[in-house]
Structure 1
Amino acid sequence: MFPFKKYLSIAVFLFLLSCQSEMDEQVNNAQGTVTTASPITSYLQRVAMVQTVKDNVIDGSTYCTIKPPYTVTVNNTQIAVNSAADYQKVIDNINASNSDNDIVKINFPVTMVYYNYVEKLIPNEADFDALIDYWNQYPDLLSKINGLNINYPITINIYNSANQIASSVSIISDQAFFNFIKNLNSSQYISLQYPISVVDYNNQTKSITNNLEFENAIKYAIDYCPENNIVTLDFTATITNGSWQIPYFYDESEKTASYSGYSFTFKSDKTVVASKGAVSETGQWETKLQNGVRELQLNFNSELLGKLNYNWKLFEFNNSQIRLRNINNSTDYLYFEKK
């Protein structure tokens, strides 16, 4: 009996340890500790991306911008673009007459700055056209979130579980914040020191005191800042087009791996077929607008797929990605990605 009791004690210890780890994860999330895989981490990085949309009248791309100073010719008028304020001169020239061709001709060479702060010298129009054609191949990249500006500096606390070293860093700019997040690894846990001051697209300064408030401010910018809504899509038409997989599912802890290999097909009769190999299950789905917020309700019967049965709130979507969340005592996340 002794070996059995010994192994039973070890099993109980491991069970309690796993429960403690899960509890710690929930507590850490509530206190604002996140990792490189946390949804808010990618949202914050997109807030810190290069602002690329304001000069679309010149370069026609949401993923890159031309670095001032440079000149353009519009309707036989040369315009010097020395800062973002000069974009309006181009717009005013285009709007001055209905009989002009309104072609914006860039005077090369120019330096392009990508959304991730990488710079590239473009010597001529042919190279410029090739670059724009390249970015046009990826219309569903999750681009910069406009309409929310962080007032720097901010302080970030860091804990590295690999070497058990704690530290902090002061971030002084969008570029520094973007690169900090880009260089995070899976063993690093970070927390923002609140409060953090931000300016919304109405030029109103607000104080953010926790991660959920920051996420809600980002959601507000996505929904209402015109620069984030250049293309209008129909949610029902999008979700019923093709098949989807789950790249991320968080329900008190990350459970994405449990849904690896599943394919979800949403049909117009409000059934949804989840299949993996030769096994499939049919559930139901429903969507509606509730107080201006798009909701997605899923209903499956099996234990595994039934864990998706929340009244999800839409965070954002495009033709190839749908991001949902459910806010209760904690925040859960469900992402769909086009297969």
Structure 2
Amino acid sequence: MKTSILKIAAMVMFMVTLGCEKSEDDNMMNNLSAAQITELKGIAASGTWTIAYYFDTDKEETAHFNGYTFTFNADGSLVATNGTTTVNGTWSVTDSDSSNDDSPDDSDVDFNIAFASPSDFADLTDDWDIVEYTAVRIELIDISGGNGGTDKLVFEKN
């Protein structure tokens, strides 16, 4: 009897441990509701943002965007300016079922950014997965389908 109770306790502990492990997908907001998507769009479109952190596969490149503010306009246009230079792009938040998503998880919502040039800004072009967002911070991640590298992009409100 004592052995059976110990075996059951060990199995329960094992199952609890497995249940507590988080995968990369668990750290992302893969299944935002329609209300959350609307909320995120509203947050992004309110005010100006800076890039607080940008990691491109194997190195941190935040400094490439120092001095730039980003405005996510409600019409889908995205404007980055540093006072003398303006770079135009587009943005959207979409369910991956309706976007060109390279993520293996087809149930996630993407924060899409597109810049044609210059090259530093073109590097931001992607269908980013949403890790988390608040009224003053939007944290995004992309795991490349080609080389498996991980990019991370964090916007903070000014």
TM-score normalised per structure 2: 0.70
**Greater relative contact order: 1 or 2 (C-alpha under 8 angstroms, separation 6 or more)?**
2
Post-superposition shift, 1:205? 3.1
2:153: which partner in 1? 334
Whether 2:87 is the aligned partner of 1:281: answer: yes
Post-superposition shift, 1:307? 0.8
Answer yes or no: is the 8 Å Cα contact 1:285–1:297 preserved in 2: yes
Which 5+ residue runs of structure 1 have no aligned equivalent? 1-197, 225-231
Runs of 4+ in structure 1 deviating by more than 2 angstroms, as ranges, are: 213-220
Structure whose CA Rg is larger = 1
1:22-41 deviation digits (Å, cap 9, x = unpaired) = xxxxxxxxxxxxxxxxxxxx
* Secondary structure in structure 1 of the residue aligned to 2:60: coil
Which 5+ residue runs of structure 2 have no aligned equivalent? 1-12, 97-105
Answer yes or no: is the 8 Å Cα contact 2:31–2:109 preserved in 1: no
How far apart, in 1, do the equivalents of 2:85 and 2:27 lie?
39
The within-5 A match list for 1:1-339 is 204-206=16-18, 214-219=23-28, 234-252=39-57, 253-290=59-96, 291-302=106-117, 303-328=119-144, 329-339=148-158
Answer yes or no: is the 8 Å Cα contact 1:265–1:273 preserved in 2: yes
Answer yes or no: is the 8 Å Cα contact 1:244–1:336 preserved in 2: yes
Post-superposition shift, 1:289? 1.5
How far apart, in 2, do the equivalents of 1:260 and 1:313 lie?
23
1:120-142 deviation digits (Å, cap 9, x = unpaired) = xxxxxxxxxxxxxxxxxxxxxxx
How far apart, in 2, do the equivalents of 1:289 and 1:237 lie?
16
Which letter does structure 2 place at the counterpart of 1:331?
T
Which letter does structure 1 place at the counterpart of 2:151?
D
Answer yes or no: is the 8 Å Cα contact 1:323–1:335 preserved in 2: yes
Report the count of equivalent residues: 128
Distance 1:288 1:223, change over 3 A: closer
Answer yes or no: is the 8 Å Cα contact 2:131–2:139 preserved in 1: yes
RMSD between superposed Cα atoms in Å: 2.9
How far apart, in 1, do the equivalents of 2:55 and 2:20 lie?
24
